[in-house]
Amino acid sequence: MDQRKLNEFRDGIFALRTRRFGTVAEIMIKHLYDLDESGSLAFDKRARNTNERIEVKFSTVMKENEARIREDNVIDQCYKANLANRAMNSYESGRFDCNIQQVKRTEFDVLYYGLFFADRIEIFMMQSSEILSCPGYSDKQHRGNEGEGQFHLNQDNIEYHRQHHLQRVLTYEELYNLLSTIDEKIN
């Protein structure tokens, strides 16, 4: 595949926000692991063979901002915020912080989570029973919120997740080919 087209595809994923980005991750996981739709609003997918409840949470990896936005740097900070300046490769050192949030561990059996780096996608898997022992997990995301937590993936704990929970790594070309195959089946 043409590298320019592949970069446009990747950049488009990074430009998606919240629900639309999450849907791309859910479709990816559904077809990589041969899952069914959940039929529930409580969790995202269901395992065909085991009937396990599957939750899917992903984040894009962006370098931390160098400075706060202030009146004297607002234009400069807008220039620096673009994907080319902030998207981080998996091998780069530097500060980043990806929040895996709204984790309702009693509502699912398996969590697929991961990171969209600029050069690849890292997919991790954790059983719901392992979440309480996940480094940095907090079961309090919002004041008064019961049963919903979060954890962060960052430069301080990424190696823990890679060593204990990494399931697979995809290139953007592999993701593009996977999604193209789905599109061809439907059309």
List pLDDT tens digits, range 18-77: 899 999 999 999 999 999 999 898 999 999 989 999 999 999 999 888 788 999 999 988
Residue 45 to residues 9, 26, 33, 40, 122: CA-CA distances in angstroms?
25, 8, 10, 8, 19
| Overall pTM surpassing 0.75 (yes/no) | yes
Q: Are 102 and 148 in contact (CB under 8 A)?
A: yes
DSSP 137: -
Please tell me the distance from the alpha carbon of residue 88 to that of residue 24, in angstroms, as a whole number.
Answer: 19
Residue 83 to residues 103, 122, 146, 171: CA-CA distances in angstroms?
27, 19, 35, 18
DSSP annotation string for 74-127: HHHHHHHTSHHHHB--TT--S-BEEEEEEE-GGG-SEEEEEEE-SS-EEEEEEE
pLDDT at 141 over 70: no
List pLDDT tens digits, range 92-118: 988 999 999 999 999 999 999 999 999
What are the sequence ranges of the domains in the chain? 3-186
Instruction: Decide: residue 154, CB within 10 A, 0-12 exposed, 13-18 middle, 19+ buried.
Output: middle
pLDDT at 174 over 80: yes
Q: Are 169 and 122 in contact (CB under 8 A)?
A: yes
